[in-house]
Amino acid sequence: MAKSPAIPLYTDAYLADTRHLTSAQHGAYLHLLMMAWRQPDCALPNNDETLSRWASMDLRTWLRNRDVVMAFWKVMPDGKWQQPTLRRTPSC
């Protein structure tokens, strides 16, 4: 688990960046942010089955929405997904 039990959420920035998302995509993105926050390295595995579960979507729905949701993330050299803004927080 991350050092801090609370994830910082800057609502102005979040809404400015995500207004194009559907409700399902918002939910998936927030779930993934929270799951990344709980990981020691604040990163997500590059595994669609895991990501779909963590995003609370069945695999078929996840695959249809993955490109939009994961546009906020970057694949790092180790193959894991990191969200740049989340990564800059002190507890990550």
User: pLDDT (tens digit, 9 = 90+) per residue, 51-88?
Assistant: 999 999 999 999 999 999 999 999 999 999 999 999 88
pTM for this one?
Answer: 0.91
Give the strands of the sheet with 81-82, arranged side by side.
43-44, 81-82, 74-75
pLDDT at 3: 61
Hey, what are 19's tokens?
Answer: 């207004």
Check: CB of residue 28 under 8 Å from CB of residue 69. yes
Is 4 or 62 the better-scoring residue by pLDDT? 62
The alpha-helical segments, DSSP class H, found in 1-77 are: 11-18, 23-38, 48-54, 59-69
